[in-house]
Structure 1
């Protein structure tokens, strides 16, 4: 016959589950805040249909740089259309070393990031 748990044991178990749920909610909210980042750069396409925005994310561990080098930062590059729909997102550790964006007939691309391919867009951003 299974042993019946006492009321105190059930209360302790319920407190553990509530604590775990609160912890998961805090971690999720913290990640969403971190990923959102702070807008540092914005460039519109020549025909004003698309925009590239760079967002700087919070650094939990500060980076050491050489004197006069300035602070390097990491973050996200995101491509949106004029209505705010997001088409592309890429994370970069050294966002300030990336050159671009460069607008082409097929889409947009950068130099110095992990993904060297062109981001294809539904319509041409330069016409």
Structure 2
């Protein structure tokens, strides 16, 4: 026959679950805030149908660079159409070293990031 738990034990377990749920909510919120980033700059396609936006993310451990090198930053490259629909997202550790975007008939691509493939878009970004 199973032991019946005391009221104190039940309250203690309930408090643990509440604390765990609050921690999960806080961690999820912090991750969403971090991933959102701050907009650094944007570049539009030649026909103004698509835009690539570069977002810098907060760094918890600051990077140390050589004097005169400037501060390197990491973040996201995101491709949107002019209505705001997101088509692509990629994280880069050294966003300031990524060259591009280069607009082609099929889509858009960058040099210096992990994914060297072209991002295919529904319509041609160049005329």
**Do Structure 1 and Structure 2 share a fold, with TM-score over 0.5?**
yes
Partner of 1:71: 71
Partner of 2:100: 100
Partner of 1:10: 10
CA distance in 2, matches of 1:68, 1:82: 37
Shift of 1:18: 0.1
Partner of 1:61: 61
Partner of 2:40: 40
CA distance in 2, matches of 1:14, 1:37: 36
Partner of 2:19: 19
Q: Structure 1: any 5+ residue segments left out of the alignment?
A: none
TM-score relative to the length of structure 1: 0.99
Partner of 2:51: 51
CA distance in 2, matches of 1:44, 1:94: 21
SS of 2:4's equivalent? Answer: coil
Q: Structure 2: any 5+ residue segments left out of the alignment?
A: none
SS of 2:31's equivalent? Answer: helix
Shift of 1:50: 0.2
Deviating 4+ runs (over 4 angstroms):
none
Count of residues in correspondence between the two structures: 127
TM-score relative to the length of structure 2: 0.99
CA distance in 1, matches of 2:2, 2:125: 69
